[in-house]
C-alpha cells in the first residue's frame, strides 16, 4: 500500500534473455549474460509518483552513501541476530560484497571461526568474499587501522582460511566462471605478536618488480607486469629476502594508484582477486587437511584476462564536475577523487 509503483506480471520458468553490458557498483562494465525475464502485464502508480533510483558506479557514488547509512541503521540488530558478533562492517569501496570485518566474542579457543561461519551464512552477507575477524575493540571503519590490527596478531599458518569451489556474487568476475569462486577468512585475535614494519628498506628487488609502496604498517603494494608476462612472480616475491619482514604484500598493475589512498587500495585489491586463485605465501603446506601459509602472504590483484573494463565517465562530464565541485559542495569536506577515474580518489 505504500508503493509508488506496482508492476504486475510473471516470470516464466526457464526463459532467459541477454542483459548487459552495464556499469555496476563494483566499478566495472559487467559483461552480457542471460537472466530471468519478467513479463509485465500491468503497471500501476500513485498520482505524482516518485520513481526511486540511484546512481551506481566506481566508489564513491550515491549508492555508497546509501549503503553506509543502511549499515549504520541496522548495526544494532547484528548482535541480536548473531549474538557472538559485536560489530560488523562491509567496505563500500570494494562493492560491499568483496570485503567485510567483524569484532566477535572469543570465550573459548577458535570460537571466532564459529562467528565467521555464522556471518558467511547470513542472508546477503553470504556473498562476502573475504572476512577479517578480531576479538578486540577497534574502529572497523578505519580500514588501515583494522588491517594493521589483524596483521600484528595473526598467525597465518593457523589463522588464514581459504574455502574453494563456492558460489560468488554474479557481478564478481575474479572466479573461474560466473557465479563460482571462493572465500577467505583471516583471524587476528588476542594480543599483538609482532611489531609491524613501516618503512621498506630492501635494496635489491626480484626481477619484474618495478615499484614498491607502503600502504600501512605491515602491508606493501608492489608493482609487477601483467599476469601474461609474469605469471609466477608471486612466488619470487614471497621468497625474496627484501620482503621477509612484511606479513602482507599486494601485487598490482598500478602500485602508485593503489597505494595513493584507502579507497584506491580497497577497490584495486579486493575487486580484482579471488582467494583460492590469488593468495600465495612463502611456504604453503597441508597440515591436518588445512593449508598452512607461511608469511609473507601475497595477494595477486593484477587484472585477469577477460576481466571487465573499468568504469569511466566521459571527458566532458569529468571536466564539468572538476570545475564545479566547490559549487556543488561550498562547505567543503567532500572528497573530490579523480574525476577522470569516476570518483576514485
pLDDT for res 333: 75
DSSP state of 1: -
Please check the confidence at residue 340 and state whether its pLDDT lies above 70.
no
**Cβ–Cβ < 8 Å for 37, 11:** yes
Q: Which residues, listed in sequence order, are joined to residue 285 by a DSSP beta bridge?
A: 292
Q: How far is it, in rounded angstroms, from Cα 257 to Cα 264? A: 7
Enzyme catalytic residues: 24
Looking at residues 117-128, what average pLDDT do you find? 96
C-alpha dist (Å) from residue 274 to 105, 182, 284, 341 = 28, 7, 17, 23
Confidence of residue 338 (pLDDT cuts 50, 70, 90): low
Which structural domains are found in the chain, ordered by start?
5-45 (no CATH), 62-187 (3.40.1670.10), 211-300 (no CATH), 312-327+334-345 (no CATH)
Q: Position of cell 541480536? A: 80
**Cβ–Cβ < 8 Å for 68, 74:** no
C-alpha dist (Å) from residue 149 to 65, 96, 114, 120, 247 = 26, 21, 20, 21, 12
Tell me the HSE value of 103 on the side-chain side, using a 13 A CA sphere.
Answer: 12
Tens of pLDDT along 148-168?
999 999 999 999 999 999 999
Q: What is the mean pLDDT of the chain?
A: 94
pLDDT for res 312: 84
Tens of pLDDT along 41-99?
999 999 999 998 888 888 888 888 899 999 999 999 999 999 999 999 999 999 999 99
Share of the chain above pLDDT 70, in %: 97
Amino acid at each position: 500500500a505504500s508503493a509508488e509503483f506496482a508492476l504486475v506480471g510473471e516470470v516464466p520458468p526457464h526463459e532467459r534473455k541477454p542483459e548487459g553490458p552495464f556499469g555496476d557498483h563494483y566499478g566495472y562494465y559487467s559483461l552480457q549474460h542471460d537472466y530471468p525475464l519478467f513479463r509485465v502485464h500491468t503497471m500501476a502508480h500513485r498520482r505524482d509518483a516518485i520513481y526511486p533510483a540511484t546512481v551506481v558506479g566506481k566508489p564513491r557514488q550515491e549508492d555508497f552513501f546509501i549503503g553506509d547509512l543502511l549499515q549504520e541503521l541496522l548495526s544494532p540488530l547484528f548482535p541480536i541476530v548473531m549474538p557472538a558478533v559485536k560489530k560488523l562492517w562491509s567496505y563500500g569501496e570494494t562493492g560491499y560484497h568483496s570485503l567485510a570485518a567483524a569484532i566477535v566474542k572469543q570465550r573459548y579457543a577458535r570460537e571466532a571461526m564459529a562467528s565467521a561461519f555464522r556471518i558467511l551464512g547470513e542472508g546477503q552477507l553470504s556473498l562476502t568474499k573475504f572476512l577479517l575477524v578480531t576479538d578486540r575493540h577497534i574502529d572497523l571503519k578505519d580500514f588501515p587501522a583494522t588491517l594493521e590490527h589483524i596483521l600484528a596478531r595473526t598467525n597465518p599458518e593457523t589463522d588464514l582460511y581459504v574455502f574453494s569451489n563456492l558460489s560468488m556474487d554474479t557481478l564478481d568476475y575474479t572466479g573461474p566462471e560466473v557465479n563460482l569462486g571462493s572465500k577467505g577468512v583471516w583471524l587476528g585475535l588476542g594480543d599483538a605478536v609482532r611489531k609491524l614494519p613501516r618503512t621498506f628498506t630492501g635494496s635489491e628487488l626480484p626481477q619484474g618488480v618495478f615499484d614498491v609502496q607502503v600502504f600501512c604498517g605491515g602491508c606493501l603494494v608492489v608493482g609487477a607486469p601483467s599476469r601474461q608476462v609474469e605469471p609466477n612472480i608471486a612466488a619470487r616475491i614471497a621468497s625474496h629476502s627484501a620482503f621477509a619482514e612484511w606479513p602482507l604484500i599486494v601485487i598490482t598493475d598500478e602500485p602508485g594508484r593503489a597505494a595513493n589512498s584507502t579507497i584506491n587500495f580497497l577497490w584495486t585489491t579486493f575487486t580484482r582477486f579471488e582467494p583460492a586463485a590469488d593468495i600465495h605465501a612463502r611456504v604453503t603446506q597441508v597440515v591436518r587437511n588445512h593449508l598452512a601459509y607461511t608469511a609473507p602472504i601475497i595477494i595477486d590483484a593484477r587484472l585477469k584476462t577477460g576481466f571487465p573494463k573499468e568504469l569511466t565517465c566521459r571527458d566532458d562530464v569529468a571536466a564539468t564536475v572538476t570545475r564545479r565541485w566547490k559549487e556543488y559542495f561550498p562547505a567543503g569536506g567532500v572528497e573530490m577523487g579523480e574525476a577522470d577515474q569516476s570518483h576514485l580518489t
